Structure 1
Amino acid sequence: MVGMHADTSGDATLRPDAMHEISDGTREVVDRVLRYARDRALYERVPLDRALPPDELAAQAGAAITADGIGAERATALFADVLAPACLSTDHPGYVSFIPSAPSKAAIAFDLVVSASAIYGGSWMEGAGAVHAENEVLHWLAGEFGLPEGAGGAFVQGGTIGNLSALVAARDAYRRHRGAMDDAAPVRLAVVCSAEAHSSIASAASVMDVDVVGVPTGADGRLHGDAVAAALDAHPGVFAVVATAGTTNFGIVDDIAGIARAAKDRGVWLHVDGAYGLAAMLVDELRPAFAGVELADSLVVDPHKWLFAPFDACALLYRDPAGARLAHTQHAEYLDTLTESADWNPSDLAVQLTRRSRGLPLWFSLATHGTEQYRATIRHGIDAAAAIADDIEQRPHLSLVRPPQLSVVVFRREGWTLADYQRWSDRLLDEQRAFCVPSSHAGEPVLRFAIISPLTTIDVLRDILDTLD
């Protein structure tokens, strides 16, 4: 099939509607792509694969963007045979680094529907049905987290955008309050968080040109309320406190209740970054670990992590969305018809105006399987982490750095250096057995399992441990 390109030569054979008409050619493109997507979604054995050096990949890929196009058959083959194998499959059972993804088959399938439906998800006027469905998910999550009636938010790209959007709303609320104080003197604004807070908090602060007040954690790795209170008393310009509900490196939940008391007593916005770990609150026996979340002014949780949605989706929730609208609603003549007639515009609640309806795959998966299935699948990660931690303690050459609280297990191989860990990690990937890269803690190189997928079984994890003998 001939591709479309800029017509600078006046070539009358290139019809403007060639890419959009319903023809045998467009049917062939759609069918070919859908066949590939179906096959990939239903792989019995997901390939792990790995990146290639830039020069090698460029040589294998060649030039796909040409004046006349290379056609759907060649383009699909190029992706399937060259480009996709140069990407790690984050849904592979042996992918236990960083925070893996494990989208349900229902969510994967519906992601195609979202793209095919050409829905603009930023406004109620244009995407009411999609926004309604997304809001059903957001209201369910708000209820699970103990937020009051009226809480709500939007799905954004990821935790970085979610944290940034929440902190922008917090700063706006601070400025509005401080602006009403006649004797308010200029002060350098700041965010308080723990030394273990996600890197996106520092990134957001940099974008906003505010300071970060890093507070040391306790011996248990948690940020505690008394330490936050001291930091707030020492820094008058703090407009938000960030508590972490499941740190990335260890999966540790801060003392959210104590932090909330310190923040509320001083009239400071409380934001909870639960991008990875807050989903564990859906498991009844872990709910006490998250006490205080219900007091948050804003929070985030990433469905593309432990809620089994495809990339990229972060649920951003506000206790009072009205304050977020004051901070984020964009005003222009061409937007007045949206903002003045809106029932609920997701674009008014975050830094993004243009947005796809990225919450719909999660909505479809939840509607298909039910919330109890989600609780059971999340529980798998917690149970698997506890089981493999017990296994590690039985191996004389391995030791836990700290018992797991959620589904992250950090351990060491006695006597190994960072170079030893890296050689071992490279060998596992060469063998296409697993992707497990070294991390560090207090200057010491360590290993780390992040367990999300129900296909990451105890047998898969033990097989990885066996290679450390």
Structure 2
Amino acid sequence: MHSVSDDARETIDGVLAYARSRALFADVPLDKPVTPDELAAVASGSITAGGIGSQAATTLFADVLAPTCLSIDHPGYLSFIPSAPSKAAIAFDLVVSASAIYGGSWMEGAGAVFAENEVLHWLAAEFGLPVGAGGVFVQGGTIGNLSALVAARDASRRRNAELGRTNPDRWKVVCSSEAHSSIASATEVMDVDIVAVRTGADGRLHGNAVVAALDEHGDSVFAVVVTGGTTNFGIVDDIASVAAVTKARDIWLHVDGAYGLAAMLVERMRPTFAGVELADSVIVDPHKWLFAPFDACALIYRDPSHGRAAHTQKAEYLDTLTDRPDWNPSDLAIQLTRRARGLPLWFSLATHGTDQYRASIDHGIALAREIADEIERRDGLSLVRDPQLSVVVFRREGWSMAEYQAWSDRLLDDQVGFVVPSSHAGEPVLRFAIVNPTTTMELLTEILDTLA
């Protein structure tokens, strides 16, 4: 399996040929899932004592397994939050695996860590964070949010110890009622309580609501989480007013910008995110609106020493790493072994430049506004809320959830698009999440036409 042989060359050539053809598809297939029984009937039996050979395995994947996996990079994939990795990022993801790089420590992966840090420092500067801010690429927003909150609680514990204060019986996190589900998941893992604060009429969390929550729950709150672009609507909380409160009360402010914070790269959108520069930690997922492949979340600390204090693992066999003043990514989040998952983004940024990224993100924002205007012009359709970023939520008047689901199934069966129903305040709705720069107004209007 590990020798450089004719079989190895054939395996690598075959896999690379398939990867090349898939990455260069002129017309990306949308594809669709099948039932477990249907897949078992045509794909079972690939694991054998002697192996089926690389050619048969590649063919099985390409012809049978892959077509049952939705193509997230299809321009008609408009559900959840899509991914649209650049060709450069896709190509370099292969290089990362082929290079067998360990990205957990400077000692073992100095060049990879340096390149990742170039990206993290650029992002930190774009978000207005001070020189010295830094962090690590982790698996996704869930791990990023959890790691940030663990660091926040650890910082509160240490501050209480320095001041001779007693820790509360139960720690608490304040966030909006529209916060991502990963915040609730993180509090479950940490065994702390969540204080979900109602948003204002505009769907945003505001400072005055946070003040009321802090007055009620006192010193038990160790962090406040604001959202830089909710998943369902793309709404950005009133970060500036919340930041003013957390700064005055010396409470950790975390910005969950997994989807939306990338919009800060567009100059005209920066005022929407005022206050991010005061955050103690932020996350943004490059596999969403920064055109990197799965999976990557950039976790950035205002002061990385808090991350190291909370997350550095101690063991005799790790002393050779932790006794050095090196920048070890594994010390900054809930992980030890880690892939250098920030390198595909680094390569794509280095290849194309930041201006191309700004333009590609701006495309999604502008297209959301354009299709929202078209929805408003059509009889039988109406917006639920004006889009703030690139998520457009709308309704087909009079339809039930069952009717939405039947329409969604037909759309996928016809290979036009993937648009699943969502809901808001108990009402079934539809939403376009526009991330892919190859998504066009023509495609979106074609989808709207099927709702007539």
Which band: TM-score by shorter chain?
over 0.9
Gapped runs of 5+ residues in structure 1? 1-18
1:392-431 correspondence to structure 2 within 5 Å = 392-431=375-414
Which TM-score applies when normalising by structure 2?
0.99
Partner secondary structure for residue 180 of structure 1? helix
Residue by residue over 1:183-233, the C-alpha shift from the partner in whole angstroms, topping out at 9 and shown as x without a partner, is 526331010000100000000000000000000000000000100111011
Residue 116 (structure 2) aligns with: 134
Other structure's SS at 1:40 match: helix
Alpha-carbon distance between aligned partners in 1 of 2:26 and 2:280, rounded to the nearest angstrom = 43
The answer to whether the 8 Å contact 1:123/1:342 transfers is no
Secondary structure, in 3 states, of the residue corresponding to 1:354? coil
**SS of structure 1 residue aligned to 2:175:** strand
- Counterparts in 2 of 1:349-368, with a 5 A limit? 349-368=332-351
Question: Deviation string for 1:262-283 (max 9, x for gaps)?
Answer: 1111111000000000000000
> In percent, how many aligned pairs have the same letter?
75
Q: C-alpha separation between the residues in 2 aligned to 1:464 and 1:217?
A: 32
Q: Does the residue aligned with 1:312 lie in a helix, a strand or coil?
A: coil
Instruction: Say whether residues 1:25 and 2:7 are aligned partners.
Output: yes
User: 1:103 matched to which residue of 2?
Assistant: 85
What RMSD in Å do the two structures reach over aligned CA positions? 0.7
1:291 matched to which residue of 2? 274
Corresponding residue number in structure 1 for 2:75: 93
TM-superposed CA distance for 1:410, in Å, is 0.1
SS in 2 for 1:410: strand
Shift of the alpha carbon at 1:154? 0.3
CA distance in 2, matches of 1:126, 1:185: 39
Alignment partner of 1:461 out of 437, 444, 448: 444
String of CA shifts for 1:287-322, please: whole Å, max 9, x gaps.
000000000000000000000000000000000001
Letter of the 2:359 partner, please give it. A
Q: What TM-score do the two structures reach when normalised by structure 1?
A: 0.95
Instruction: Measure how far apart 1:177 and its partner are.
Output: 1.1
**Counterpart-to-counterpart distance in 2, 1:214 and 1:238:** 12
- What residue in structure 2 maps to residue 41 of structure 1? 23
Determine which of 113, 120, 125 is the counterpart of 2:95.
113
Q: Which residue of 1 aligns with 2:223?
A: 240
The answer to whether the 8 Å contact 1:124/1:344 transfers is yes
What is the CA–CA distance in structure 2 between the aligned matches of 1:376 and 1:352, rounded to whole Å?
Answer: 34
User: Counterparts of 1:433 and 1:77 in 2: how far apart (Å)?
Assistant: 26
Query: What secondary structure sits across from 2:80 in the alignment?
Result: coil
Name the SS of the counterpart of 1:271 in structure 2: strand
Q: Which amino acid aligns with 1:147?
A: L
Please state how far the C-alpha of 1:450 moved relative to its aligned partner: 0.1
**Cα deviation, residue 180, structure 1:** 2.8
On the 8 A contact 1:381/1:454 being kept in 2, the answer is yes
Describe the shift of the 1:208–1:185 C-alpha distance in structure 2 as closer, same or farther (beyond 3 A).
Answer: closer
- In structure 2, give the amino acid aligned to 1:146: G
Report Cα offsets for 1:404-439 as digits up to 9, x if no partner.
000000000001000000000000011111000000
**1:386: which partner in 2?**
369
Answer yes or no: is 1:51 the counterpart of 2:33: yes
In structure 1, distance between residues paired with 2:192 and 2:168: 13
Alpha carbons 1:125, 1:342 under 8 Å: kept: no
> How many corresponding residue pairs?
451
Structure 1 residues 248-327: aligned runs within 5 Å? 248-327=231-310
SS for the counterpart of 1:139 is: helix
Q: For residues 335 and 72 of structure 2, what CA distance do their matches in structure 1 show? A: 26
Equivalent position SS for 2:222: strand
Q: Could you tell me how far 1:182 is from its partner in structure 2?
A: 3.1
Query: Does the 8 A contact of 1:160 with 1:204 survive in 2?
Result: yes
Amino acid at match of 2:235: I
Segments of 4+ in structure 1 off by > 3 A? none
For structure 2, list consecutive stretches of 5 or more residues without a partner in the other structure.
none
- How far apart are the structure 2 equivalents of 1:457 and 1:137? 29
Which residue number corresponds to residue 6 of structure 1?
Answer: none
Whichever residue aligns with residue 447 of structure 1, its letter is L
Partners of 1:434 and 1:186 in 2: CA distance = 50
| Residue in structure 1 matching 2:201, options 219, 222, 233 | 219
Letter in 1 for 2:141: G
Separation of aligned partners in 1, 2:446 and 2:289: 23
